[in-house]
Each structure stands twice: as C-alpha cells, then as structure tokens.
Amino acid sequence: MSNPSLPTAYVEAVTALLGPAETEAFLASYDAPRTYGLRFNTLKIPPSSPAAGKLAELFALRPVPWCGTGYYYEESTRPGKHPYHAAGLYYIQEPSAMSAVELLDPQPGQTVLDLAAAPGGKTTQIAAKMAGQGLLISNEIHPQRARILAENVERLGIRNAVVTQAPPPALSARFPLAFDRIMLDAPCSGEGMFRKDPDAISEWSPEAVELCAARQWDILQDAVAMLKPGGRLAYSTCTFNRRENEDTIARLLAEYPFLRLIAEKRIWPHREQGEGHYVALIERDHDEKTPAISAAIANREGADAVRRGGRERNRKRGARSGPSERSAATAWDSFRAWAADELPAFAPPAGGTPLLFGEALYLLPASGGLALTPEHLTGLKVPRAGLHLGDVRKGRFEPAHALAMALSANEAAPRLWTLDAESPLVAAYLRGETLEVPASLRGWHLVTVACGDDQYPLGWGKASGGQLKNHLPKGLRH
C-alpha cells in the first residue's frame, strides 16, 4: 500500500502525536508486510507440552514478547486451514491485540465480563487465564457477530462462558457492581486496521472519530456501572488517535473520582511487530461508598423496564428469551444416564444449573461472586447459556458438538476414534463424510486428532455396522 492513499487529516493527526521524524518511520511501516499471530489455547495445551512443541515446529512459531502464549507465524504456513485449528488448539489473533487481556490479567474463580466480545479473541484469552473456574459473560450486540463469538467459544472448549447478545444498558441493569474484571475492546475508527484491511481507510474521517468517541463514552458508562469496588476495567482500541484513547480515559477519570489509572500501553507498528493497539487499565476504589447502582444507571430505565422491553422485543422477533417450562431436571437426568453409559470418566462442572431451551440442555456456570440465575437471562438473547450438553429428542439424549469440544481425551476414553493429522480421513471427517470403522465399534465416539502425545476432539461420531456416522454440525463442515 502506498502512503498517499492515507487521508491528509489522518497523517496530520499522527504527526501531532509522533512528531515529523517519527511519523516518517510510522508511514513507512505501511509498506512492510502485516504481522500474523496465533495464541495457544491453554485449556487444551500447556505451553510446555509436546503438542505445543509440535505446533511451534509445524508453523515456525516465534514468541510474541508481551504474551506468553502468543506467537508470530508466517502467512505461508496457514495454521487457520489445519485440522489443529478445527480442534481448538489455538486462536488466530493479531499479535498486538493480545496485549489487552495480558494487562487485565483475569484470574481463576473471578466473575468477568467481555462487553464487546466478537469475534472472540479476547474472550478466549480471558477464558484460558480463568482455567475453567469462575464465570465469564461474553457479550456482542450484533447478531451475526454474536453467532461467530459463540462458535469460537465452542471450538476452544470453554465450559464456563455465557454468550449474550444485548445492548450494554440491558446488562448494566441486570448486573450492577457485579464484575471483578471487565474487558471493553471498544468499537473504534480502526486506524490500526489500515495495513490489514485497506478498505477501512475509506471509512475513516475526523467525523467518524468523533462518532466513535461518543459511542465509546456511552458504553463506558455501563462498564463502570457493572464494575465491583476493587475491580479492574481494561479499555482497548485498535486505533491511534488520542481522542478515542488517552482523551477518553482522561474524561472518564475526571467524571468518576473513584476510578484510577493503573497502567497504559500503546503498540505502534513501526516500533514493535504488530498492527497497533491501545489499552488502559482502570481500577475502582476498594472502599468506595456508592449506592447499590452507579450514577450511570440512575439516568437510564430501571431493571424492570429493561426486562419488560426485552421480553416484548424477543416475543416479536421469535427470539429465544428464556428457559422453556419443560423440566430441566428431567433433561438433566437423561444426560446423566447417557453419560454414565457413554462417558463414565466425565464429571460435569460443579455447581452449575441445568437449563432447558426447547430441546437444548445447557449447564449455566456457577460463580462464587455472582449467583447467576435463569432470571438474569430472562428478556435477553442468549446464543449460548453456558455449556451446551446436548438435546433431548423423543425421550433420547443426543450430545452436542460443544460437549465434544469441551472434553479431554481422558474424559472420553475409551470411546475415542483417533485420526492422524495428515491422514485424508481427517479431511473427510471435517467435510462431514461417514468413515469406515471396525464392525465391533458401536455407539457414540469422540473423533479426535493426534498431536504430540495426546488426542484432541474434532466432534462426535456414532458407530454401527462398520460405519462411523458423522455428527459434525453442517455449518462447520468444509
């Protein structure tokens, strides 16, 4: 890409930030190749495991300095096309975007919100740090992006995440002062995307920057309302201007004296190997004496009005707005009976609440810091109400793909059918084809792919008569 394609107002803004000499180096970075990165999914593979070593060799990985599980790769190695990607062993993520969650540093057992979460890079990074303990709510207001977010949560085998599709005010009305950690990767003018996506340049203007800053300010009000005393909020963008970054944070600190800036980090593409990112870490006072809800909520409709409006909208749109009246307890018994026969080594996460949406049985995750109940979700669109265990159809239980991806090989043993990563049978399975298996093989089996000295799930198959019927969801076949 050539520098003259950049808007004059944008170049002037960068020059004001960096000075003329460094701006030259910054503009020259647009002629350099973009960077590519992936992050290991430590819910499946520890960084020191044989599987991690195999991936490092296979994709010629080089470490990202600000993320212990992040690595650069060369475009030609195409890890996104490999079966290990389908197995959820890693997440393809721009390297500088990994910096925000590293600064937020969520911990196991905490209650965490990712407020603008799609497509899922930061959600999956948060989930890995939480190690399956605590509660993660991942929200995305746009329907198509929320679906992609839910698919990535599923692919990486995350058990303790709820995916919601809600405007921030609907969440802040339900969850005042609820979260230990909040990640807000705010919608922005995308200046750090120009090298990756030249089309983004045509959408940029000084007016667009102002519109983004106004939207970010509105979302931040709800984020503050949901942050516990002593909690931390990471605010990030993939843009360079001060208006959406330092100026927005300065305004936030002036508006809310109980907030303080802990750290601030910028990544520039001419200084480090990344497309560019900004992140600020904010902490709320521990001993703050505030009302039960923050001032930001006082100017909005109350929780009851939000719930009533949400239910009405969902009824009009035919959306799934809450658990059905069918007995979740009966469905849970069906699952337990199935698991006793098919997955004797699997223990469901402790403390969860079974929820039934139509035929679909979910396990709503538990959190010590937030007593999450089905009522919290009433009136919300919920693409994923925790771990989807399976569906109860005509009195029979059929396991969900999400359950397959959340299992380890040990939990599914001995019901495993393992394929070599280079075998054409892996490609055949991912296309949705039926596989030939020994006639002695019967019942549900977890189809896995070998990596290092372990096996990792791709999905379910059901064996009968020498054939393994493919149960990979049609939308995931390729």
Q: Which residues are annotated as catalytic?
A: 238
3-state secondary structure at position 292: coil
Contact of 103 with 234, CB cutoff 8 Å: yes
Candidates 234, 217, 268; CA nearest to 17 is 268
Spatial separation of the C-alpha atoms in residues 35 and 30, rounded to whole Å: 11
Instruction: Measure the CA–CA gap between 288 and 89, rounded to whole angstroms.
Output: 42
Which of 76, 73, 112 is closest to 93 using CA atoms?
73
Instruction: Please identify which residue in the block is written with the tokens 């059929």.
Output: 398
Residues 47, 60: Cα–Cα separation, whole Å: 15
In what helix (H) or strand (E) does residue 202 lie, and over which residues does it extend? helix 199-202
* β 227-237/277-284 pair status: antiparallel
**CA distances (Å), origin 197, targets 30, 192, 242:** 11, 9, 21
Measured in residues, the chain has a length of 478
Asked if 372 contacts 378 with a C-beta cutoff of 8 angstroms, the reply is no
CB 69 within 8 A of CB 47: yes
Instruction: Report the DSSP beta bridge partners of residue 384.
Output: 163
Sign of CA dihedral 101, 114, 119, 195: negative
Beta strands 179-185 and 227-237 are parallel
Task: Report d(CA 99, CA 394) in Å as an integer.
Answer: 48
Handedness of CA 285, 291, 293, 299 (dihedral sign): negative
Q: What are the respective helix, strand and coil percentages of the chain, to the nearest 5?
A: 40, 25, 40
What are phi and psi for residue 79, nearest 5 degrees? -65, -25
- For residue 366, give the DSSP letter: P
